[in-house]
Amino acid sequence: MRVIPGTPPAAVPEHRRHHRKPPPRTGRPRLGRPGPDRRPGRLLRGRRGQPAGTVRPGGRPFKVWWDSCTCPGADRARQRIAETGTELPAVQEIRERQEQDTQARRDAFQAASRAAAGTSRDEIRDLYLPELRSRGLAPPSERLHEATVERIAGNPIPSVRLVVEGLAQTAKVAVGLGRLLRDISRPPR
């Protein structure tokens, strides 16, 4: 902040007049503020006592990072995963699988829509589930299935209602998270 000539000294805080850092706050530090433990990403890095895998990969492929992770407990976690025979998928593999599932659901919807011309909702229900199963997909929840049947029948309102309800739930979670962060960053009373 520039001090404007002629401005009374009382109108400009003392720390601004001499271009020094502001005085330290009392109480707990605010989240995200720089400091010894508030460096960006510090909460993602491993600390003593934290479970393995809390360190950020830093741009390396996940499998390479996981094998070279030296967090406390990393060896035990790798041993447990090896014992169960589980293999960690790469992020790209997960993304490709999701894209394939999305495309398969879209194809099932389009196939059921083409076959549903002039049929009842019960017949559409009987068309859509086999289309999903033939593509190796699990059937959706009952509400989503009913909304999809209505959409195929030409009524988009139930599917729009589901989208709006999902957005409302997301907004509630965001508000709750904002309140949590606000409460964490407040100094104690």
The per-residue pLDDT for range 20-46, each reduced to its tens digit, is: 555 555 555 444 444 444 444 433 334
| 78 and 112 belong to one structural domain | no
Picking from 52, 30, 32, 57, the residue whose alpha carbon sits closest to that of residue 43 is 32
Q: Which domain holds residue 60?
A: 42-84
| 60 and 112 belong to one structural domain | no
| 76 and 105 belong to one structural domain | no
SS3 content of the chain, % helix, strand, coil (to 5): 55, 0, 45
Query: What is the number of structural domains in the chain?
Result: 2
| 74 and 98 belong to one structural domain | no
- Beta carbons of 108 and 98 less than 8 angstroms apart: no
In a domain, residue 62? The reply is yes
Write the CB contacts of 26 (distance below 8 Å, at least 6 apart in sequence): 187
| 118 and 148 belong to one structural domain | yes
| 98 and 145 belong to one structural domain | yes
In a domain, residue 19? The reply is no
In a domain, residue 138? The reply is yes
Q: pTM higher than 0.85 for the full model?
A: no
- Final residue before a domain boundary, out of 84, 110, 138: 84
In a domain, residue 32? The reply is no
What is the structure's pLDDT at 53? Answer: 45
What is the structure's pLDDT at 50? Answer: 43
| 97 and 148 belong to one structural domain | yes
In a domain, residue 47? The reply is yes
Lowest pLDDT segment from 82-96, 104-118, 145-159: 82-96
Q: How many whole angstroms separate alpha carbon 107 and alpha carbon 44?
A: 39
In a domain, residue 167? The reply is no
| 74 and 126 belong to one structural domain | no
In a domain, residue 70? The reply is yes
Q: How many whole angstroms separate alpha carbon 50 and alpha carbon 30?
A: 22
| 150 and 104 belong to one structural domain | yes
| 95 and 71 belong to one structural domain | no
| Tens digits of residue pLDDT in 84-104 | 887 777 778 889 999 999 999
Lowest pLDDT segment from 10-14, 110-114, 148-152: 10-14
In a domain, residue 5? The reply is no
Residue 51 banded pLDDT, cuts 50, 70, 90: very low
CB 111: neighbour CB atoms within 10 A?
17
| 125 and 72 belong to one structural domain | no
